[in-house]
Amino acid sequence: MATDWRRTIFSTFILFTINCAFSQDELDGDISFPKVTASHVNDTFLCGCDAISCNDEDTCRTNRKCFIYLARERDEYGYPIFRKGCLTDSDQVVMICRNDVQCCDHELCNNNITLLLPTTAAPPELRHDPDYFNVLYMVLAVIVCFILFFGSIVISICLYQRMQSKQERACMTPLGADYGPTCTSDIRAVPAGDSTLKDLFDHSNTSGSGSGLPYLVQRTLARQIVLVQQVGKGRYGEVWRGHWLGENVAVKIFSSIDEKSWFRESEIYNTVMLRHDNILGFIASDMTSRNSCTQLWLITHYHELGSLYDYLNRNVIDAPLACRLAFSAASGLVHLHTEISCNNSKPAIAHRDIKSKNILVKRDLRCCIADLGLAVLHTQEDGCINMGVNNRVGTKRYMAPELLDESMNTMCFESFKRVDIYAFGLVLWEIATRCQVGGMVEDYNPPFHDKVPSDPSFEDMRKVVCVDQCRPTLPNRWSTDQTLTTLAKLMRECWCQAASSRHTSLRVKKTLIKISQCCQTFSKMDMENDRIIV
């Protein structure tokens, strides 16, 4: 009797707990099925069934609930698999009919998949995986950060360019001279109405600037130039005489396939403090399209007398003019080779292609050095040698022995300067051969004309210069002229076989000063003697 009393109390407690759980779940909205009542216990109805849940049967019978849920796995075609079947007791109803399992209690109610399952529900494997949302939030955060980062960069660049444009416009007005300290550039341009080329350069360049005209002027320059006449052609392209602001300019036109040469030469000409009387005056570089072809322009001063090569071919000279030509060319080479350290520092520059065709003769019969496309830059501060990306090599006829036998130390900048000195010695020989002495003068010929073909190969030059150690012939008649005798001595010191024995460009310049002074003294003595004779 006592045992039955305890059993009754325990059963009542269990039923009370279950009823409380059902009530709380209904309040929370966690389940979507009605309470199990007595009317459902005796009624049975059919439910849809999948093969796994019902042992290959399509239906099953229950007096409780039908269930359906989306399984985690998919079939062989990638479609979702639905599990469905019957719940036969109250415990199954309580445990199963919650979360993602949908339950119903009428005939074949679980066959209507679209009504029972929410169409917007995420796959169970995603909704039950907490890392899914963490990864999603992380990806969104990274995308937002990238957008903000690149957006700030673009805004900064736009603001910087706008500020630079304002400064350029301020510096281009005549009032810019009154507000010099506020302008970051020393370059000023004046309106191009009635101004001449000289006026523009007087206003836009200091004595030490090598940047040509301001970039704002350079961008539209090609449209203002009229090409008049082709004056030269080489492996890089063509040289034309053009008209700009009523004056002649030289336009060096590169083809699009030689863009590296154009870019390198433009870069060198824009070097700070490069401008010098004996370096070809740079005006601008521009890119344009003519006859449906892209052309790269390098615009410089025009010198109607042409190159030193052309001038020597056409003219016989005397000793004073020979000294004038040689000294001015040496002055340009010294300026290239010299590193200038100051607020606007200039690196040391080795030309690497010194020859008479790359030296121009100005109207006052002084020379200036041109064609800096192969130049090498160096500063002692970082010790780095900037050779650019141009694959061109120098002219074989003017190559030094260490280039021909491939023994040159390319890690030492002095080696490049000594190569320039070797080639300059050959240029001195070209100048001297056109000097008239005692009424005699040789026809113009390039160096080694009697030892190699007109277009010598690398091997031809290596045999003559390195193996046979030959140099251009020095005529006997030079011994009767003091100027040519000293010039011949200087040539030999420039083209020494051992690079370390060659003079520096500054030493060559100082020697030429002494030779010029002696030459002028002899000229004055000759003039006085002529007066006495008369």
Q: How far is CA 256 from CA 7, 67, 215, 290, in A?
A: 102, 75, 21, 12
Sequence-distant (≥ 6) Cβ neighbours of residue 23 within 8 angstroms: none
Nearest to 347 by CA among 267, 280, 270, 272: 272
Q: Is 56 exposed, middle or buried (0-12, 13-18, 19+ CB in 10 A)?
A: exposed
What is the β-pairing status of strands 102-104 and 80-87? unpaired
Nearest 10 degrees: Cα torsion 273, 277, 279, 284:
70
Residue 429 DSSP label: H
In order, the DSSP letters of 204-269 are: H--TT----S-HHHHTTSGGG-EEEEEEEE-SSEEEEEEEETTEEEEEEEEEGGGHHHHHHHHHHH
Active site residues: 353
Please state the φ and ψ torsions of residue 62, each to the nearest 5 degrees.
-150, 160
What distance in Å separates the CA atoms of residue 26 and residue 22, rounded to the nearest whole number? 6
DSSP secondary structure string for all residues of 122-161: PPHHHHT-HHHHHHHHHHHHHHHHHHHHHHHHHHHHHHHH
469: β partners: none
**Do 189 and 170 contact (CB within 8 A), yes or no?**
no
Q: Phi and psi dihedrals of 59, rounded to 5?
A: -140, 165
Name the DSSP class of 504: P
Take residue 132 and report the two structure tokens written for it: 């899914």
